[in-house]
Amino acid sequence: MDVLRAADASGRPVIQPRCGVGGHQQMVDLLRDLERVDSAILSVTIDSYTRLGRFGSAERLLHDRPADLNGYPLVAHGWQRGRDLVSAVETPLEVRHGSPDARRLFAVSVASGILSFEGGGLGYNLPYSKNVPLSTSLDAWRRVDASCGLLSREGVIVDRELFGTLTAVLVPPSISLAVTMLEARAAAGEGVTCLSIAYPQGGQVHQDVAALRAIRPLARRYVSAEVEVYPVLHEFMGAFPRTTTAADALILHGGLVARLGGATKIVSKTSQEARRIPDVVANAHGVRTAALGASSLFDFVEVDEARVAEEQYWIEREVAELVEPVLDDGDLTGAIERAFRAGRLDVPFSASLHARSDVVPCRDRYGAIRYGTLGALPFSGAALRRNAASLAESPEPRDGRSQSPIERVSADINYFVNLDGTRPRPLPAVPSPPFARKSR
């Protein structure tokens, strides 16, 4: 909390790297190494078995081959080792994971003394799980949030961070923020008093700055004014450039966008993102590069404020058109379920059977993410006309050839892959229709 409040007051976002390994001593060493590069908050990224509630599998692998775990199995290690992590560094820790049901992990985290916990009933279900009903994940997270409310009344504040990134594939800002606003409303209703609301960098500077600036007014509209709210930027989560130079440029750009958008925190990336699980050297370099982008060195950079204001107006309007029919229903969990079932809420490219994924986003000629296919989203005529106008001037294919729908979507997903001008790799043959509906 103190770190977030200080960053907010300074106008300079703090940097948080992702990190998590299986072995306890290795995790301690990793945290100490990253603390030396001035990370203001450190992550304890949890392994996949623990995320899915397979605690026995996590414990067996921890015993036999800890290096094979893709994160720190906090439940298997137990709260006493969790306290070792907290005491090993002076920097505060946050647990990041991806669990549709995080109750046990939350209990061990709090017992360890870790008071920042990421996730939510939508953002940690729809991108990660194939068939977990929304009622199950929303109820599990309601209980986590209720525990935070109880702790808050006892004077222990837990920073509840909402993921926002979703599938990390061309997620339109209004979908990301609509999901986090619904999660924020649910959390605040259970007594949560501190929310970090994350937004994933899409890559177009005016749209990203507008989305970050929209977080606070949207939170004031849909969440109690008594709740502290901090905007967070996830640096670009999609396909990353393969060369170090281009990847560093994208990371630097993220730092700059975060400061211009008024973010309190940046969750950083690394130059190894496209090739492997980043090592500690690359992670430290990513922290420094993001911090440089957010530094006073680039104070001379200004954005077109009129363009940002226009984007922000339409983002907030689209969020309202997605969120308010759900809130008007009265039964929040049931209304969310019904909206996803009908496609009035949707997440593109979701693996879950409980999101229709009828929405197919695309980029306009400036790189902003728009709605190529809207599915059943309940946008007004004005919002539909504005989206259509944004796409009226489609970007020209780089090689002059017309593109199939799958080539167009692939090019938009790989927007930054060839940032340094390297030759694009040919697309693999795709025998099946690109947008076949999932069975339910």
Model confidence at 401, in pLDDT bands (50, 70, 90)?
low
Look up residue 11 and give its DSSP letter.
Answer: T
The pLDDT, as a whole number, for residue 380 is 98
Residue 400's pLDDT is what? 56
DSSP codes of every residue in 252-313: HHHHHHHHHTT-SEEE---TTTTTSS--HHHHHHHHHHHHHHTSGGGTT----HHHHHHHHH
Residue 436, pLDDT score: 44
Three-class secondary structure assignment of the chain: CHHHHHHHHHCCCEEECCCCCCCHHHHHHHHHHHHCCCCCCEEEECCHHHHCCCHHHHHHHHHHCHHHCCCCCHHHHCHHHHHHHHHHCCCCEEEECCCCCCHHHHHHHHHHCCCEEECCCCCCCCCCCCCCCHHHHHHHHHHHHHHHHHHHHCCCCCEEEECCCCCCCCCCHHHHHHHHHHHHHHHHHCCCCEEEEEEECCCCHHHHHHHHHHHHHHHHHHCCCCCEEEEEEECCCCCCCCCHHHHHHHHHHHHHHHHHCCCCEEECCCCCCCCCCCCHHHHHHHHHHHHHHCCHHHCCCCCCHHHHHHHHHHHHHHHHHHHHHHHCCCCHHHHHHHHHHHCCCCCCCCCCCCCCCCCEEEECCCCCEEEEECCCCCCCHHHHHHHHHHHCCCCCCCCCCCCCHHHHHHHHHCCCCCCCCCCCCCCCCCCCCCCCCCCC
Residue 216: Cβ within 10 Å count: 14
* φ, ψ (nearest 5 deg) of residue 163: -65, -50
What value does the mean pLDDT take over residues 60-75?
96
* pLDDT tens-digit readout, 76-90: 999 999 999 999 999
pLDDT of residue 435: 43
Query: How far from 73 is each of 30, 186, 219, CA to CA, in Å?
Result: 15, 28, 33
Percent of the chain with pLDDT over 90: 88
pLDDT in the model for residue 276: 84
User: 31-40, 140-149, 180-189: which range is least confident on average?
Assistant: 31-40
pLDDT tens per residue, range 168-181: 999 999 999 999 99
Please say if the pLDDT value at position 425 is more than 80: no
Q: Return the H-helix or E-strand segment holding 51.
A: helix 48-51
* Higher per-residue confidence, 438 vs 348: 348
Among all residues, which ones are annotated catalytic? 51, 118
What is the structure's pLDDT at 418? 84
Q: What is the pLDDT of residue 1?
A: 83
Tokens of residue 103, six digits? 């109750």
From residue 422, alpha-carbon distances to 59, 242, 246, 379, 408 in Å are: 44, 10, 10, 39, 19
Q: How far is CA 13 from CA 41, 119, 268, in A?
A: 11, 21, 11
- Mean pLDDT, residues 340-357 taken together: 97
Q: Give the pLDDT of residue 224.
A: 87
Residue found by looking up tokens 């973010």 in the block: 263
* pLDDT for the residue 373: 95
Please say whether the beta carbons of 44 and 74 come within 8 A: yes
245-290 residue pLDDT tens: 999 999 999 999 999 999 999 999 999 988 888 899 999 999 999 9
Q: What is the average pLDDT across 394-411?
A: 73
Report the candidate in 114, 122, 164 with the shortest Cα–Cα distance to residue 139.
Answer: 122
Q: How far apart are CA 230 and CA 3, in angstroms?
A: 11
What would the two tokens of residue 204 be? 């177009």
Structure tokens at 244: 């170090």
**At residue 297, what are phi and psi to the nearest 5 degrees?**
-55, -30
Which residue in this structure is represented by tokens 């396909």?
A: 239
pLDDT, the chain, mean? 93
Answer whether residue 184 shows pLDDT above 80. yes
